[in-house]
Structure 1
């Protein structure tokens, strides 16, 4: 009887050992079907620029009061006051790139000086001071100061998106300042603006 029990225990042990060996032989490090190593790791494919990162990286270049940089990247930057009786500080700034490049758009950053420091001058539609377009740059903003003795110090920064990681003064970034002063619309101008708004909705 004891021999039979011993024989059964030995057989059970042999079967268990064989099962473990067979299982180990079928293990693989190949990912499951439909997955690759690249898909396992998260990859950020967004190409949006971070304004905070740009301002931190180029703090001196962007915000030094005497900072300037000239490159031929756009034509003349123009601006025009909006004939709007309600938003009487509203201006439109616009310019065109010297060449169209859908894959490498132009970036424009807008700032205005407040209490001696440059702060973002946000577009009234998108709520950001960063404009990104392949060719034509345009932004509509509300300036801060009205009155002929009150100057709005505007700083405009323009560069190609591909250069964002390595902006170099007078090589690949345009930094220009504008000083704008204006008064409130007089009565005749307000009537004219209202008439134009009614006839050109």
Structure 2
């Protein structure tokens, strides 16, 4: 299989410093809104990178569920691989690949668990089947078959047949407090526009990076 000839040029409009907000969360909000308005599939999907206790990196796709000046929030099983990594090293990197808009956003920061009340508020907003799935799946643990997973799901449906599904004590959210954000806009001839917001002494500094 030959891959070296698979390429395309990027012809989107450029990104200039004058177009950028002085505050990175405002800039991210603008780009997220534009991604949603453009009808991108899964615009909130991001790659989350963590590192384990031996220094091995790991990546997976998770969904961003909230963001504001305090940080970026996602949810998971607290016994999952990503959660175990975060216990050892809370430093993470997130990446939004908005290919059809020829854009990327990279975010580096520190992850911390959110409060029980915040996790409960989100959990109660989920479809009932998703709530049951959180109980049924021991995320990242080995299982013998898909049938076992489905049997666990059926067992949870019977267990919580009446009333609301409670929030599992092993499930909840993390908030990533960002210290760096990079906004990447594809340009012709691989001369892409890249701007980095880096937090120094509680002040966001903006610099253009070479592609």
The structure that is strand-richer by fraction is 2
Q: Which range, TM-score by smaller chain? A: under 0.3
Greater relative contact order (Cα < 8 A, sep 6+): 2
User: Which has the greater radius of gyration?
Assistant: 1
| TM-score between the two structures when normalised by the length of structure 1 | 0.23
